[in-house]
Amino acid sequence: MAFLPNPKSRALLFDVTRCVGCHECAKACKASHSFPGTGEETELDATTYTVVLDKGDDRYLRRMCMHCADPSCVSACPVGAFTKTELGPVVYDAGKCMGCRYCMIACPFNVPRYEWSKPIPVVRKCDGCIERQREGKPTACTEACPAEATVGGTREEMLAEAKKRIAENPGTYHPVVYGENEVGGTNVFVLSPVRSSSSDEGRPRQRPDAEPHLGGPVEDPQGRRRRRRGPLRDLLDHPPARGRGGRRARREGVTSMRLPSF
């Protein structure tokens, strides 16, 4: 049974144009969970639930659990260790986990991590600061962000805010809210900037009617139609796990499609 996005559930909006790369969100996350590390890591792991990646040109991207409306980790887990809460976050119960790691294979964003170094390992991922949110508090990363690059609220509020920013600054933002519809919708939205003209050099022009979040069809010099990478697809710098190229990716140990980058 598929789940539809709950407009009243809690969500986050991450605005790439506002992020200054200070890593305060990652540091707050570690402090909130009493995890070791500096907060400046570049890869998710069992004690790093979010990272800030430098994409050049003073642009930074957060990586974290997207808290999907219809999570593949929940549907893949044979023992019900993952739950999509009514509040919004997708949470994990280590007491139910049998260590099959199907969740790691199923996640389209390659988020869950395993405690490989422990004799009795469990899966780790962002829990959406579920306990804080149950108390009516914002997530640790939202509270720590000095530039309001990450803000929180209900899903309908964050989606409305994202669309408002796009409408008020059409030359600044790519006109798609990442997470509104992708993988059935998520509880983390990403607003991406319009690609600079310098980064467009040598790229084929995208047709006006193309789907910007997938990359629309373009004509190559021989007149053949093919798919191109749209601005938001360029944000996905991990190879896909499914569809064309998926078998090759799995052979190479890549099991999912990583999320937004430039």
Write down the pTM of the prediction: 0.77
CATH of segment(s) 10-194: 3.30.70.20
The CA-atom distances, in angstroms, between 118 and each of 19, 82, 102, 113, 114 are 35, 21, 19, 13, 9
The predicted-structure confidence for 199-245, as pLDDT tens digits, reads as follows: 444 444 444 343 333 333 444 445 444 444 444 444 444 433 443 33
Instruction: Determine the Cα–Cα distance for residues 259 and 61; give it in Å rounded to an integer.
Output: 10
The predicted-structure confidence for 52-77, as pLDDT tens digits, reads as follows: 999 999 999 999 999 999 999 999 99
The predicted-structure confidence for 111-168, as pLDDT tens digits, reads as follows: 999 999 999 999 999 999 999 999 999 999 999 999 999 999 999 999 999 999 999 9
CA atoms within 13 A on the CB side of 247: 1
CA atoms within 13 A on the CB side of 150: 31
Cβ–Cβ under 8 Å, residues 106 and 72: yes
The predicted-structure confidence for 27-61, as pLDDT tens digits, reads as follows: 999 999 999 999 999 999 999 999 999 999 999 99
